Structure 1
Amino acid sequence: MRSSPRHPLTARTLFGALLTVFATLAALVAVAPATQADTTICQPFGSTVIQGRYVVQNNRWGTSATQCVTATDTGFRVTQADGSVPTNGAPKSYPSVYNGCHYTNCSPGTNLPARINGISSAPSSISYGFVGDASYNASYDIWLDPTPRTDGVNRTEIMIWFNKVGSIQPIGSPSGTASVGGRSWQVWTGNNGSNDVISFVAPSAISGWSFDVMDFVRQTVSRGMAQNDWYLTSVQAGFEPWHNGAGLAVNSFSSTVNTGGSGNPGNPGNPGNPGDPGDPKASCKVTYAPNVWEGGFTADVTITNTGSSPLDAWKLSFALPSGQRISNAWNATVSPSSGAVTASGLGHNAQIAPGGSQTFGFQATYSGSFARPTGFSLNGTACA
């Protein structure tokens, strides 16, 4: 077998080869992307931005003891949480991540504040990391106000308690239960001296969930603690610790607010607040006609298409007041039976022509005083 000719390796050849290798390595180092280091914040009200769109805040106000949070690419973790406060009072802090505006600090590119009746949906997702040796809640904090304010305390605070560890309880007192987002919640209502608070407390720990924030907003409106022409100003998620808290983590967080218009007076330069003067009117109208007796009622609901295009496969969402439960329906399927419900057209009435209307109805029971539902939206668009 013929062998390949070999060439002697001279010193000059070896030196040239080494120069080529070094140049290649230098080029690779020059173009390698730098990994963003985690940012640790120990200032009481220090903050930083993650993903170019959310703000992570330390937000320590109830103690002089040190608290530090480390912002990651997708969330944050509490790395130091010294000190304790009595569990029958306010927590010591609210380390959190948010979309929106908090005391003039607005997250980049947010379309909040946005008017409630101009928001079609506000999907959010969370993944929590819990610890045992502490007293805390893991909670969302959702703020509503009659004005598109970006500073100070809002009128109404919605809290969603995903987990509760230790002898702590929400502000106020229990006011029943509610089905929101397909889950059952214990509901507490009260006032902390600065704002009204409604808290939805999970019966058992929820470590992760994807849901629509507007389900809780509409439930709050249905209870008279906000109005449809108020503004959603921020969606926050984090922890309220009373004792310890090191190791708590938001592993991941996302928040989006979907609106049907443009122009946001509460945060100039950012889109997303329909419903203000000069914006297009809603393309649907809902007429609600109840027949009420003690403990029960029927309701005929008429949907009118005031737009210029047909509405196919219509779905009407609205919030039943607390204590109301649907027992049967006609000309539509309605589910669930209480809380935030959705009525869907059937085969024979699934389309609404421009200028046309469809009517469906249901029978229901109620406790306490009768009230009308609120927050009607058709295929994601708020109705007049």
Structure 2
Amino acid sequence: MRRLRIALSTLFAAALLFVAPQAAHAATWSSSDQWATWTNGGYTLYNNIWGSGAGAQTIWANSYSNWGVWANHPNTSGVKSYPNASKSVNVALSSLKTATSSFNVTVPSSGAYTTAYDIWANGTTYEIMLWMNKTGAVGPLGTLQTTATVGGHTWSVYSGSNGSNAVYSFVRTSNTSSGTVDILAIMKWIQSKGWYSNVTLSTIQFGYEITSSSGGLDFVTNSYSATTS
């Protein structure tokens, strides 16, 4: 009987290891530091736990294209973090021929978060957010301007400010966990509205804007890339 108990305990411990957070399986890099960064393939990954009242979060990566986080943020309001993969571009809109991105993610069915692009123009003067999917009590800044089909998707478009910069939020009218986005088409659409002129596309970021993930949730980027020319 004692031997059986030892064997069962061993099996239970093995089972716990098997269901451990995805971060434990990172082959290349992982960190729980608030501002942890890792550079790979021309991209920089950021853990970026920036909001007040945040809990624990671990970022892991096998490459810029395959990465994720395990996050345990309390069920309170306010964004806690935006772990992301960032690529610097720094090319004027008039000089860009292409700016596209593709992604495939696995995200939880609970919590409060959005899978989002954060695109910056003229440094940090203009912020363009593309919400590809959202769950829970989250919403964009500003007021609803229109519904538009542009860049390969249909969006509810909001305009507002966070007090430091203008924010244009494109909230997809239905959730998706994979797809391709024509970023250049969206930026030119904004320009056609007169919301800015010939700006410089400074940075493309893609990640998870997490408000709550109580108990610990996994956010996995199965594949991702951003291409400009």
Does structure 1 residue 70 correspond to structure 2 residue 40?
Answer: no
Which of the residues 77, 81, 94 maps onto 1:93?
81
**Distance (Å, rounded) in 2 between the aligned partners of 1:176 and 1:78:** 33
Q: CA deviation at 1:159?
A: 0.5
Q: Pick the structure with greater CA Rg.
A: 1
**Distance (Å, rounded) in 1 between the aligned partners of 2:132 and 2:45:** 19
Three-state SS of the structure 1 residue aligned to 2:195 is coil
Structure holding more strand per residue: 2
Q: Unaligned regions of 5+ residues in structure 1, if any?
A: 1-35, 101-111, 259-384
Does structure 1 residue 114 correspond to structure 2 residue 98?
Answer: no
1:263-316 CA distances to partner (integer Å, 9 max, x unpaired)? xxxxxxxxxxxxxxxxxxxxxxxxxxxxxxxxxxxxxxxxxxxxxxxxxxxxxx
Q: Specify the alignment match of 2:223 in structure 1.
A: 252
Runs of 4+ that moved beyond 3 A:
none
Does structure 1 residue 205 correspond to structure 2 residue 175?
Answer: yes
Q: Specify the alignment match of 1:49 in structure 2.
A: 39
Q: CA deviation at 1:123?
A: 2.0
Three-state SS of the structure 1 residue aligned to 2:204 is strand
**Distance (Å, rounded) in 2 between the aligned partners of 1:191 and 1:161:** 17
**Distance (Å, rounded) in 1 between the aligned partners of 2:125 and 2:76:** 26
Which of the residues 196, 205, 215 maps onto 1:236?
205
**Distance (Å, rounded) in 2 between the aligned partners of 1:39 and 1:83:** 25
Q: CA deviation at 1:168?
A: 1.4
Contact 1:125 1:211 in 2 (8 A): yes
Does structure 1 residue 130 correspond to structure 2 residue 118?
Answer: no
Q: How many residues align?
A: 200
TM-align CA RMSD: 1.6
Three-state SS of the structure 1 residue aligned to 2:87 is strand
TM-score under structure 2 length normalisation: 0.82
1:38-79 CA distances to partner (integer Å, 9 max, x unpaired)? 3112111111023x2211110111034221111122221112
Q: CA deviation at 1:83?
A: 2.8
| Cα gap change, 1:47 to 1:178, in 2 (>3 Å) | same
Q: CA deviation at 1:242?
A: 0.6
Q: CA deviation at 1:80?
A: 3.0
**Distance (Å, rounded) in 1 between the aligned partners of 2:61 and 2:98:** 27
Does structure 1 residue 164 correspond to structure 2 residue 134?
Answer: yes
Structure holding more helix per residue: 2
**Distance (Å, rounded) in 2 between the aligned partners of 1:214 and 1:194:** 24
Contact 1:75 1:97 in 2 (8 A): no
Does structure 1 residue 81 correspond to structure 2 residue 72?
Answer: yes
Q: CA deviation at 1:180?
A: 0.4
Three-state SS of the structure 2 residue aligned to 1:247 is strand
**Distance (Å, rounded) in 1 between the aligned partners of 2:46 and 2:117:** 14
Three-state SS of the structure 1 residue aligned to 2:86 is strand
Does structure 1 residue 39 correspond to structure 2 residue 10?
Answer: no
Q: Which is further off, 90-99 or 74-83?
A: 74-83
Contact 1:46 1:59 in 2 (8 A): yes
**Distance (Å, rounded) in 2 between the aligned partners of 1:227 and 1:253:** 29
Three-state SS of the structure 1 residue aligned to 2:197 is coil
Contact 2:131 2:169 in 1 (8 A): yes
Contact 2:30 2:60 in 1 (8 A): yes
1:119-142 CA distances to partner (integer Å, 9 max, x unpaired)? 111121111111012100111110
Three-state SS of the structure 2 residue aligned to 1:214 is helix
Contact 1:143 1:232 in 2 (8 A): yes
| Cα gap change, 1:65 to 1:194, in 2 (>3 Å) | same
1:218-276 CA distances to partner (integer Å, 9 max, x unpaired)? 11212222211x21111111111111162111111111210xxxxxxxxxxxxxxxxxx
Three-state SS of the structure 1 residue aligned to 2:217 is coil
Three-state SS of the structure 2 residue aligned to 1:254 is strand
